[in-house]
Structure 1
Amino acid sequence: MSEIKLIKPSIEYAQKIEAYRAEFPAERERVTYDPSRIPGMDYLEKYDNVLDWLQFCENMSDKLTWYMAFRESDSKIVGFIVFRHKLEYDDDDIEFASNLGYSVCPSERGKGYAKEQLQLGLQKAKAFGFDNVRIVCRDTNIGSNKTILANGGVYIDTIHGEESGLNVNRYDLQTDMNIN
């Protein structure tokens, strides 16, 4: 039985979402060069309060779908994942685009939640009609690289961002993989 389930963020979870955001230090590792961006919670950093971000999520529902990785045993948000319906929407540079972006709360890392969350995210992508997705992560993010590989990720290549100065690994994943 799964320890977590993916549910869409809503107003009833506003305080929990804010608590999740507060756990991320400014020096967190990320794919983007924007130090305020929390993977899986795209654009939350642009809003002073969660309610405005939730409205943004609703307004973007035809392009992006956010999910909270919710641990049922204690009702804690342990992660976030965003599904980007088209690669073109993610970034200005299509080479750095990713269908799925995710994060795990710093206090909950190393417990297997990233792997489980990505498995559930692949199921969501499948429900949207995707057979394959693209995921990118920094080459130095060992945990994320392992998570992607553990979910059947096929390494494509490593690319370098001229503007960001970051090296990013690109992977393709099938949405119907049955990983244990």
Structure 2
Amino acid sequence: MFRFKQKLTQASFIILISSLLTACGFQLRGEYSVPEDITAISVTSFDQYSKITRLIKEQLRLNQIDLVSPSKDVPNIHITGESITDRTLSLYQNTRAAEKEVVYEVNYRVTVPNLGSKDFTATMTRSYLDNPLSALAKSAERKLIEDEMREFSAQQMMRQMARLKTEIEEYEEKQLLEDTNTPADAKS
């Protein structure tokens, strides 16, 4: 009987928490999406075969966006460059680097026809221990960190593109106001 009451209490608690989270509008991270107005997009890059370009195309496919060839009437993401820099955070007693910080940055421009273009930067920072006694493991760890940072940057780019929705809405409202304020004689 005690087990039954315990299970019932746990189930009630889970239902209560779920309903509270649902009522406050909580959504899991990753629910950012590209504006609904953008159903197809072209991707151009400084290097069409780079990892970041492939990851961005993958993220767009996950958001159900069709990838098309560049055209003047199709939105475009142009990846202008990426960079990886590092700096020493701490030193061992023998003045060798003990901990390093890696900064990954990707710059890109989103161009939407009739709206214009906007430049963005996605930046990721990670730190890791730099053990000089394990050089092979250190380089493998560094490569894994860089790949992870590229993946997170591609996701961050999708979140940044979600901000375009407000700009598109503002542009459409502006166009609507201009159309309604234009006299009938000026339209013809």
Is the TM value for this pair above 0.5? no
- TM-score w.r.t. structure 1 length? 0.25
- TM-score w.r.t. structure 2 length? 0.24
Larger helix proportion, structure 1 or 2?
2
Larger radius of gyration: 2
